[in-house]
Amino acid sequence: MSNEIVPRRYSEKEAGLILRKAAEMQRAEPSAADPSGFSLAELEEVAREAGIDPAVVRSAAAELDVPAGESFSAALVGGPLTVRLETELPGEYPADRFDSLVPAIQNASTWQGHAGAVGKSLTWSARSESNTSSLQVLVVASGGNTLIRVEERLGGLATALFGGVIGGVGAGAGLGIGAGVGAAIGSTLFAVGFPVFMLGGSYYLSRAIYSAYVKKERGKLRLLLDQLSAHASSVIAETSTGAAIEDSKDARILPRDSE
């Protein structure tokens, strides 16, 4: 019989309790950096050490980051009216390198937009050709970290989609066919029931189309965020290395004694 000791495995509930207890213990320490909670970068680091893809953590955080007023509308139309993803990188992106970040945004996105910088923050905005959706990229360097947020607003698209399908197919075709055929066969039930059926069917069709579109756009935004994060991390590392080299050179210069 083998005497090999099998390491204990914790259930999902037990793992959550352990992490919660660990968080409480850390916050109780006087040296705790942030007693109010964890940043997204800290959560990503914990996930990385646990073998979880940080991109999955960002997606999960994005699911929670839904404005309270949008919860009902998201359930109604099949997806959020605003898709927002963000990540926080260690180190501050240098403000004097924002000029290299704008081309990176343009290359990673199919949108044509414009950028504006204020202090240590950069905002890049664009609108679709149909003017039914908008995209915004925000980069903020503060507190030793860099926040990158990508956000797409789809309210205009949802309005155009549901209005067009329900109004054109559901109401237009439903009422026209229902009234015409109902009168021809002398059926009031068909004249009333067919438009109701078409309205309901067009609503569920619109909802399915919008839900699929949001899923596709979320994937595009995640790719955009990953590409910008890789670029920003590279610039931050390059800047940090350059600063370290300069500090090393300065340390080698010794003051000469005056004669």
Contact 124, 108 (CB under 8 A): no
User: pLDDT confidence of 65, banded at 50, 70, 90?
Assistant: low
What mean pLDDT comes out for the span 68-95? Answer: 84
Average pLDDT score, the chain: 79
Question: Token digits for 85?
Answer: 């993803």
- Quick one: which of 237, 247, 245, 226 has its CA closest to 91? 237
Beta bridge partners of 115: 124
- Lowest average pLDDT, out of 136-140, 168-172, 242-246, goes to 242-246
Q: What is the pLDDT of residue 207?
A: 92
pLDDT digits (tens, 9 = 90+) for 14-52: 776 776 676 666 656 655 555 456 666 667 777 776 667
What mean pLDDT comes out for the span 82-96? Answer: 90
Contact 83, 63 (CB under 8 A): no
User: pLDDT confidence of 160, banded at 50, 70, 90?
Assistant: very high
| Residue 258, pLDDT above cutoff 50 | no
Query: What is the full DSSP assignment across the chain?
Result: ---PPPPP---HHHHHHHHHHHHHHHHHSTT-S-TT---HHHHHHHHHHTT--HHHHHHHHHHH---TTHHHHHHHHTS-SEEEEEEEEESPPPGGGHHHHHHHHHHH-S--EEEEEETTEEEEEEE-TTSS-EEEEEEEEETTEEEEEEEEE-HHHHHHHHHHIIIIIIIIIHHHHHHHHHHHHT-HHHHHHHHHHHHHHHHHHHHHHHHHHHHHHHHHHHHHHHHHHHHHHHHHHHHHHHHHHHHHHHHH-PPPPP-
Report which of residues 158 and 253 the model is more confident about.
Answer: 158
State pTM to two decimals.
0.68
List all residues 6 or more positions away from 210 whose beta carbon is below 8 Å from its beta carbon.
Answer: 77, 78, 79, 157, 158, 161, 162
Task: Give first-to-last CA distance, the chain, whole Å.
Answer: 84
Quote the percentage of the chain above a pLDDT of 70.
69
